[in-house]
Structure 1
Amino acid sequence: MDLASNKVLVFGIEGFTGIHLSEYLKNTGYEVFGTSYSDTKDDFFQVDITCNDDILRALKAVVPDYIIVLSGISFPAHGNNEDFYNINTIGAINILDVLIQLNQNPKKIIMASSATVYGNLGTEVLDESLCPKPANHYGASKYAMESMAKNYFSRLNIIISRPFNYTGVGQMRHFLIPKIVNHFKDNKKNIELGNLDVQREFNDITYVCEVYKKLLECNGKSIILNISSNRGIQLLDVIEMMNKIAGYTIQVSVNPDFVRKDEIKTLTGSPEKLFDLIGKLEQVDFKTTLRKMFES
């Protein structure tokens, strides 16, 4: 397939995922454009996805072959709950409405939801057959987006992804893994955390980028998929890996202010449906990811 003229428009390109994904796609032959809420670079359009006129301007200028919607608030502890719904739900659906208004029908539209839509179901391995039960406003806003987007399945080529936790170089410090790594980079002797008995997937960002590329190129549409690996890692195991990478032992204490009452204790996902569609993918071990973050 000749990708030279295949244009990808990434809504939310300035974020952690967007930065890594745009470079990954460029390196594999795609022509990448992006929108940013605040930045206007050569291939960026300044777009507020709650404003249809902003979306329309970007879509008319690019006429993309592919769209990836990453725009949104991705930090569950964000202070204003209304923002989750205005941006993650209504803003995302605005993009679909403007596409229909312009009579544009890209080859593929990937809309990023989140594994937090599952909530705390008490199931060790979460798959797409489970009924979502979000436990916070972030998860609820993403589930509302999914519910609305399914109404467009008959008119647009949509895949909804539910990424489980992932990390890598450049992720903001307020997320859990960068917080831990940066404590070691700063040679701090103590770290305060919330719930210590949680287990998460903690996938590598490159794995996620490869999944998104394969989803763009697959034949699937009108589906909801986990971006997962079922590779659960205990938080205290992350601390132990970092102790070895940094060469010293950090002291861990629990700060009650960091303990979330609605914390999801176990969040790992089945990749079976994903791999059935795009083939099985491997990724680097998590200690390699941590080391890259520590040495960057």
Structure 2
Amino acid sequence: MKKVLITGIDSFSGVHLSSYLESRGYDVYGTSIFESGYKKYQCDITKKSDILIVLNEVRPDFLIHLSAISFAAHGSSEDFYKVNTIGTTNILDSLIELELNSIKIILASSATIYGNQGLEILDESLCPQPTNHYGASKYAMECLAKSYFEKLNILITRPFNYTGIKQAEHFLIPKIIKHFKEKRDVIELGNLDVSREFNDVGFVCEIYKKLLDCDKNGEVVNICSNRGIKLLDVIAMMNEIAGYKIRVEVNPAFVREGEIKSLTGSTKKLFGFIGEVKQKEFKQTLREMLEA
């Protein structure tokens, strides 16, 4: 069995990905900032000594680096840079120090690094223009990681929005689901004129697995579907699923400055690496989340 180490294994993505890989025969280990457990190590990636202990004990064949601050509205801008950049370079330096140069490494960046490009479809050739500290910290991480391309087998991924069961309720789709579960009459949202991919987390897990298996490295690649869905269309789907119509009100406090209006990615490079990956209809994802 091939060993996979997932940093941030108790995150939304980590929980789904670890289960998915285990079901397909991988021997999965992980790190958590909060606690240790079976095959799970408590580890602060901003402390290189923590990382060295974990890597030396596990000696993985693959590493998927998910550990980060992923909520763009997180209160402290400094945390984004400390975790998303210093934490990542600590991991890469530790791999070199332990002579684990041959393992396959996937670093999760973000599609928010593109910013507002004024284009319908975003591909990897575009010059990043992040509009918030989260996106800027991820772009900084990418720039630093590229200096390791000649020393380590690295793929950098730029995931577009995805969702599913167990995602934290401060994210948009779980917030909407919660309102319908509680049969609220009104939901307050921010920018309504936005379009996102809103992919299913199972689709993303399958892509990560295929990227582990492919022979590509030293590349940056989108994790996307080119399936854009407007926010108000999400509300319309939920109205139909739940059997009643919720009233939408704009709360100025939720309107983000520099909000990216459209985030839809080109799949050309991704599917060129791993072949086409299908996913379920988004209404099915919504229904599963409502019924969970």
Instruction: Tell me the TM-score normalized by structure 1.
Output: 0.98
The 1-side partners of 2:113 and 2:282 are apart by 24
Q: Which digits, 9 at most, give the CA deviation of each residue in 1:111-152, with x for residues without a partner?
A: 000000001111110000000010000000000000000000
The answer (yes or no) to whether the contact 1:207–1:282 under 8 Å persists in 2 is: yes
2:258 maps to 1:262: yes
**Structure 1 residue 230: Cα displacement:** 0.5
Gaps of 5+ in 1: none
Which residue of 179, 183, 189 maps to 1:183?
179
**SS of alignment partner, residue 266 of structure 1:** coil
The answer (yes or no) to whether the contact 1:67–1:106 under 8 Å persists in 2 is: no
Give the match for residue 100 of structure 1.
96
**Structure 1 residue 106: Cα displacement:** 4.0
- Report the RMSD for the aligned CA atoms in angstroms: 0.5
Q: Structure 1 stretches (4+) deviating beyond 6 angstroms?
A: none
The 2-side partners of 1:241 and 1:121 are apart by 28
Matches for 1:225-244 after TM superposition, within 5 Å:
225-244=221-240
Q: How many residues align?
A: 292
**SS of alignment partner, residue 159 of structure 1:** strand
2:14 maps to 1:18: yes
Which residue type is aligned with residue 295 of structure 1? E
Give the match for residue 117 of structure 2.
121
The 1-side partners of 2:85 and 2:55 are apart by 19
**SS of alignment partner, residue 34 of structure 1:** strand
Gaps of 5+ in 2: none
Which residue type is aligned with residue 172 of structure 1? A
Which residue type is aligned with residue 138 of structure 1? Y
The 1-side partners of 2:34 and 2:288 are apart by 29
Percent of aligned pairs with the same amino acid: 62
Which residue type is aligned with residue 195 of structure 1? N
Give the match for residue 35 of structure 1.
31
**Structure 1 residue 107: Cα displacement:** 3.0
Instruction: Tell me the TM-score normalized by structure 2.
Output: 0.99
The 2-side partners of 1:106 and 1:90 are apart by 22
The 1-side partners of 2:180 and 2:47 are apart by 42
**SS of alignment partner, residue 148 of structure 1:** helix
The 2-side partners of 1:206 and 1:261 are apart by 31
The answer (yes or no) to whether the contact 1:198–1:265 under 8 Å persists in 2 is: yes
**Structure 1 residue 92: Cα displacement:** 1.0
